[in-house]
Amino acid sequence: MKKIAVLLSGSGVFDGSEIHESVLSMLALSKLGVDYQCFAPNILQMHVVNHLTGEVESLQSRNVLVESARIARGEIKATEELELDEFDALIIPGGFGAAKNLCNFATNGSDCVIAPEVASFIGQFADSCKPVGFICIAPVMIPLLYGEGVIGTIGNDSETAQAFNLMGGKHQAAVVQDIIVDEINKVVSTPAYMLAANIAEASVGIEKLVKKVVEMIG
């Protein structure tokens, strides 16, 4: 039976994983009969955002793994616990946590770096030529992981696309329902809430991405 890892970055669009994207990814996997396991790095979030007001709660701190456990219903492992041989592919939902906790694109743009725990985790899938799906803003990590010429999308935001290209990638514009596939690197990306106006729109591209990632498993 196929098994896919899902990498989370907290809980909540403004400082963690986008909850709709995360749940839609897991739902799509379940509908295809594919088993999955959630992971997250055991690190502190960049900051905590009050999702009611949008304000940063400067006196609070939260752990990415602990917060991600909310979405995973407690069934989650730290990235360092990965046993690569048990998994066929990886899917990474978006949300600002992908750009604040998994890497620091939110503050550093094209000069960003990926958190060491995260680079090691995703790198194992990349080095083993196992398919990886990147959703929403998560694709900004693709050029740093796969190198010059790798193909991906964050939708059609020109500034983010330019940063993607500056990091060595080849950005392809996409609408919300699209997936962009790099067959050579086995990378799939979709804009989701970079463009989606509602959960139904986000679900279309995410379901396509999950289906394609599963199809790419050898």
The single residue listed with the structure tokens 């360092």 is 80
Residues in CB range of 99: below 8 A, 6 or more apart: 105, 106, 112, 137, 138, 140
Sequence-separated (6 or more) residues with CB below 8 Å from residue 163 = 105, 109, 110, 140
Residues 6+ apart with CB under 8 A from 41: 9, 64, 65, 78, 79, 101, 102, 115, 117, 118, 121
Give me the active site residues, please.
136
91: which DSSP letter?
Answer: E
Chain-centre distance for alpha carbon 12: 13
